[in-house]
C-alpha cells in the first residue's frame, strides 16, 4: 500500500500548464463556502493551480472584489482543512480573485462578461471552467446562458449532484445540457469518487493477487456500504424534505461506490477504461425490490422549522441491491445511510465467507472482513480470525489497519476532483448511460416507496434494516 499511495501522490505533484479561468456560479452559497473555496485554496497551497489562474465568483448580488475576497478568506478559515491562512499564501491567492455580480441569465449576463474580459487580459488565452455550485433546478437555465453568451465552446462545466431528481428530470436535464455541450466537456461531480480510500479500491484489488483472486461470489458473502450520520437536517431543511435520504445518498453516492466494488477489471486505469468498467456494471444492477428497502424517519424530524407536520420524507434508508453478473450473482450489496444515528462513519466492507469445511469452521461472524474507511484521510482494515493466546483453542478477531494519511498526504476529495477537471481527466466522474440506468434501478422504489418507520434519535435506525443483512449483521 505504501508504493500504491506513493504512486497516487506522484500524480498530484503539479497542476495544469494551461492558464485557467475558473468561474464559480453560486459563489456566495453554502456549497461553495464549505467545499469549493477551501478546496481551491488547498490546491493553491500545494502549488497545484496553473500559473495563469483566475477565479471569478458570480452571484445575484453585487460585491466589490475586496468584499468577495474577504468572503473567500472567511470560508477558508471556517471550513479549510486546518483553518489557517498564512499572510504570504493568502496574498498571492487573493490577487487572482474577482467578483462578477448582477446574476447570469440568457437575457442578462450581469457583469460576468466584462470581468471575464479583464481576466483574459491578465492571462491571455485560457481554459474556461464553469463550476455550477447551484441547486439542480437551475442547471438548465445556467447551461443555456453559458451557451447564449458564447462561453460554451471548448469549456469544461462541472455539475454538482444530484444530476436530476427523478427519471424524467434526469432525461430532461441530460437532453438540455447536450444541446449546448459535448459529453467530453461535462463533469458530473460525486465527491465519494474523489476519496483517496475509494480510489485505493482499484489498486488494492488489481495490484495484489491476495485480493484479486477472492473478489467474487465464491469468497464474498456480502458487501456493505454504510454511511450513518449523527447530524440532523436543520441547516438545509427545505432541500432535505424535498429530497430525502434515498435520493440524497443512495441513488447518488452509494450506487457509485457499489459500482467501484463490483466492476470487472478495466483494460487500464485510464479515464475511458475506468468509465467503461463502471458504467458496464451499473447496467447490471437489478431494479430494486421495494420489499427489500427500509425507510425511516427520526423522532422529532417534523418539529424542525421548515418541515411540514405531516411530512413522510425518509431520513434513513437501507436497501439490498443485487448485481446480475457472473462475478456477483446472489451476493447482496447492502447500502445504508441516515441522519441522527448513534455514530457517524463512512465504511465499505467485504464480508468473506467462513470455510465450508476443514478443521476450523465455527468462526466468528465477522471473522474475515476487509473494510475501507472512506471518511477523512481514510484507512484500510483487514479483520482475520486468530487463536486467542493461551493453552486453549478459543478464537477471536484481530485487525490489521493501515491509516492512509500515514503513507501519503492525500488531497481532500473535492480538491482531487477539481485537479482532474483542470487536467481534463474524467475518470472519477459519472457518465449519462450509467446515470440513466441508476434511475431505472431506483424507479420501483420511487413509484412505491415504503412508509418510513419511526426511530429514536441517537439509535441505530429502524430494527427492520437489520433483517436485510445475513448472519454478519451490520459491521
Separation between Cα atoms, residue 249 and residue 429, nearest integer Å: 16
26 annotated to bind ligand? yes
Q: Has residue 437 got a pLDDT over 50?
A: yes
Give yes or no for residue 427 having a pLDDT over 90. Answer: no
pLDDT > 70 fraction of the chain, expressed in percent and rounded: 92
Mean pLDDT of 227-241: 88
373: phi then psi, degrees, rounded to nearest 5: -85, 115
Q: How many Å apart are CA 350 and CA 348, to the nearest integer?
A: 7
The pLDDT-based confidence of 405 (bands split at 50, 70, 90) is low
Higher pLDDT, 160 or 225: 225
Q: For the whole model, what pTM was predicted?
A: 0.84
Residues 6+ apart with CB under 8 A from 42: 80, 81, 411, 412, 415
191 is in an annotated binding site: yes
Higher pLDDT, residue 84 or 148: 148
As a whole number, mean pLDDT of residues 412-428 equals 90
**Mean pLDDT throughout 239-257?**
91
C-alpha cell at 360: 476450523
In sequence order, the β-bridge partners of residue 352 are: 220
| pLDDT exceeds 70 at position 422 | yes
Please provide the distance, in angstroms rounded to a whole number, between the alpha carbons at the two ends of the chain: 23
Residue 408, pLDDT > 70, answer: no
State the CB neighbour count (10 A cutoff) for residue 429.
20
Between β-strands 379-387 and 369-373, what pairing exists: parallel, antiparallel or unpaired? antiparallel
Separation of CA 451 from chain center: 27
Predicted pLDDT at 53: 97
DSSP letter at 354 equals: P
d(CA 149, CA 305): 40
Q: Is 253 a catalytic residue?
A: yes
120 is in an annotated binding site: no
Q: Is it the case that residue 226 has pLDDT exceeding 90?
A: yes
d(CA 219, CA 351): 9
The per-residue pLDDT of the chain, averaged, comes to 89
pLDDT at 472: 67
Cell numbers at residue 158, please? 462541472
To the question of whether residue 27 is assigned a binding role by annotation, the answer is yes
* DSSP H or E stretch at residue 385: strand 379-387
Q: Is position 28 annotated in a ligand binding site?
A: yes
Angle at 265 between CA 263 and CA 266, to 5 degrees: 100
**What pLDDT is stored for residue 235 in this prediction?**
73
pLDDT tens-place string over residues 359-381: 766 666 767 899 998 887 678 89
pLDDT above 60 (res 46): yes
Look at residue 12 in the predicted model and tell me its pLDDT. Answer: 39
pLDDT (0 to 100) of residue 386: 78
Strand stretches in 189-303, DSSP E: 220-228, 293-298
For residues 296-326, b (16+ Cβ closer than 10 Å) or e, as one string? bbbeebeeeeebeeebebbbbbbbbbbbebe
Q: In terms of DSSP bridges, do strands 293-298 and 316-322 run parallel, antiparallel, or are they unpaired? A: antiparallel
| Residue 2 in this model has a pLDDT that exceeds 50 | no
Question: 351 in helix, strand or coil?
Answer: strand
Q: Is 474 exposed, middle or buried (0-12, 13-18, 19+ CB in 10 A)?
A: middle
Does position 191 have pLDDT exceeding 90, yes or no?
no
Three cell numbers at 344? 457517524
Task: Kindly name the residue from 253, 343, 399, 437 that is annotated as catalytic.
Answer: 253
Known binding residue 33? Answer is yes
334 annotated as ligand-binding: no
**What percent of the chain has a predicted confidence (pLDDT) above 90?**
64
User: What pLDDT digit, counting tens, does each position of 5-19 carry?
Assistant: 333 333 333 345 689
Check residue 180 and give its pLDDT.
97
CA atoms within 13 A on the CB side of 458: 0
Does residue 229 have a known ligand-binding role? Answer: yes
- The mean pLDDT of 440-445, rounded to a whole number, is 95
Query: What is the Cα 65 distance to its own chain's centre?
Result: 31
Report DSSP letters for 388-402, one per residue: PSSSS--EEEEEEEE
Identify the residue with better confidence: 429 or 74. Answer: 74
Rounded to whole angstroms, the Cα distance separating 137 from 155 reads 21
Could you tell me the sign of the dihedral formed by the alpha carbons of 429, 196, 49, 84, in that order? positive
Which residues, in sequence order, are bridge partners of residue 225? Answer: 335, 348
Q: Which of 159, 153, 202 has its CA nearest to residue 180?
A: 153
Distances (CA, A) of 353 to 190, 225, 368, 452: 31, 17, 8, 32
CB 259 within 8 Å of CB 190: no
**How big is the CA angle at 226 (ends 222 and 232), to the nearest 5 degrees?**
160
Domains annotated for the chain, with CATH where assigned, are: 2-188 (3.40.50.720), 193-413+431-468 (3.30.360.10)
Interval 50-70 mean pLDDT: 95
In the block, residue with C-alpha cell 469518487: 193
Grid cell at residue 397: 478477531
- With a cut of 80, say whether residue 286 has pLDDT above it: yes
* 387 labelled ligand-binding: no
32 belongs to an annotated ligand binding site:
yes
The answer to whether 316 and 339 are in contact (CB under 8 A) is yes
> Would you say 305 is a known binding-site residue?
no
- Here the cell at position 131 is 463550476
Single out the residue of 16, 430, 377, 135 nearest to residue 253, CA to CA: 430
**DSSP 3-state helix, strand, coil percentages of the chain (rounded to 5)?**
40, 20, 40
Q: Residue 64 above 70 pLDDT?
A: yes
Amino acid at each position: 500500500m505504501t508504493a500504491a499511495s506513493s504512486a497516487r501522490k506522484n500524480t498530484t505533484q503539479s497542476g495544469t500548464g494551461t492558464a485557467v479561468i475558473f468561474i464559480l456560479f453560486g459563489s456566495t452559497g453554502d456549497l461553495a463556502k464549505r467545499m469549493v473555496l477551501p478546496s481551491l485554496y488547498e490546491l493553491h497551497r500545494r502549488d497545484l493551480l496553473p500559473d495563469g489562474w483566475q477565479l471569478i465568483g458570480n452571484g445575484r448580488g453585487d460585491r466589490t472584489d475586496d468584499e468577495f475576497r474577504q468572503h473567500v478568506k472567511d470560508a477558508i478559515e471556517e471550513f479549510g482543512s486546518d483553518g489557517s491562512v498564512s499572510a504570504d499564501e493568502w496574498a498571492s491567492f487573493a490577487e487572482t480573485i474577482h467578483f462578477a455580480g448582477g446574476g447570469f441569465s440568457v437575457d442578462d449576463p450581469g457583469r460576468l462578461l466584462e470581468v471575464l474580459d479583464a481576466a483574459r487580459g491578465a492571462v491571455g488565452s485560457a481554459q474556461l471552467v464553469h463550476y455550477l455550485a447551484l441547486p439542480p433546478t437551475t442547471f438548465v437555465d445556467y447551461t443555456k446562458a453559458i451557451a447564449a453568451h458564447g462561453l460554451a465552446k471548448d469549456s469544461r462545466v462541472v455539475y454538482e449532484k444530484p444530476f436530476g431528481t427523478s427519471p424524467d428530470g434526469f432525461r430532461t436535464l441530460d437532453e438540455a445540457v447536450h444541446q449546448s455541450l459535448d459529453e467530453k466537456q461535462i463533469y458530473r461531480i460525486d465527491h465519494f469518487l474523489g476519496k483517496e480510500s475509494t480510489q485505493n479500491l482499484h489498486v488494492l484489488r488489481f495490484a495484489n493477487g491476495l485480493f484479486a483472486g477472492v473478489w467474487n461470489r465464491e469468497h464474498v458473502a456480502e458487501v456493505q456500504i454504510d454511511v450513518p450520520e449523527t447530524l440532523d437536517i436543520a441547516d438545509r431543511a427545505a432541500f432535505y424534505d424535498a429530497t430525502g435520504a434515498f435520493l440524497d445518498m443512495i441513488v447518488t453516492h452509494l450506487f457509485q461506490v457499489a459500482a467501484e466494488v463490483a466492476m470487472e477489471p478495466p483494460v487500464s486505469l485510464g479515464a475511458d477504461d475506468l468509465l467503461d468498467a463502471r458504467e458496464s456494471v451499473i447496467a447490471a444492477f437489478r431494479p430494486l425490490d421495494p420489499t427489500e428497502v427500509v425507510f425511516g424517519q427520526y423522532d422529532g424530524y417534523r418539529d424542525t422549522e421548515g418541515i411540514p407536520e405531516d411530512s413522510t420524507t425518509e431520513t434513513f434508508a437501507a436497501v439490498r441491491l443485487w448485481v446480475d453478473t457472473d462475478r456477483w450473482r446472489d451476493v447482496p450489496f447492502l447500502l445504508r445511510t441516515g441522519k441522527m444515528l448513534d455514530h457517524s462513519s463512512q465504511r465499505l466492507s467485504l464480508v468473506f465467507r467462513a470455510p465450508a469445511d476443514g478443521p476450523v469452521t465455527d468462526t466468528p461472524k465477522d471473522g474475515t472482513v476487509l473494510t475501507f474507511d472512506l471518511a477523512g484521510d481514510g484507512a484500510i482494515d483487514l479483520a482475520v480470525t486468530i487463536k486467542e493466546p493461551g493453552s486453549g483453542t478459543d478464537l477471536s478477531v484481530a485487525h490489521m489497519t493501515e491509516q492512509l494519511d500515514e503513507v501519503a498526504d492525500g488531497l481532500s476529495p473535492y480538491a482531487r476532483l477539481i485537479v482532474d477537471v483542470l487536467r481534463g481527466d474524467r475518470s472519477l466522474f459519472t457518465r449519462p448511460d450509467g446515470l440513466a440506468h441508476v434511475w431505472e434501478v431506483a424507479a420501483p422504489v420511487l413509484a412505491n416507496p415504503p412508509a418510513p418507520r419511526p426511530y429514536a434519535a441517537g439509535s441505530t435506525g429502524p430494527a427492520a434494516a437489520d433483517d436485510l443483512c445475513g448472519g454478519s449483521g451490520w459491521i
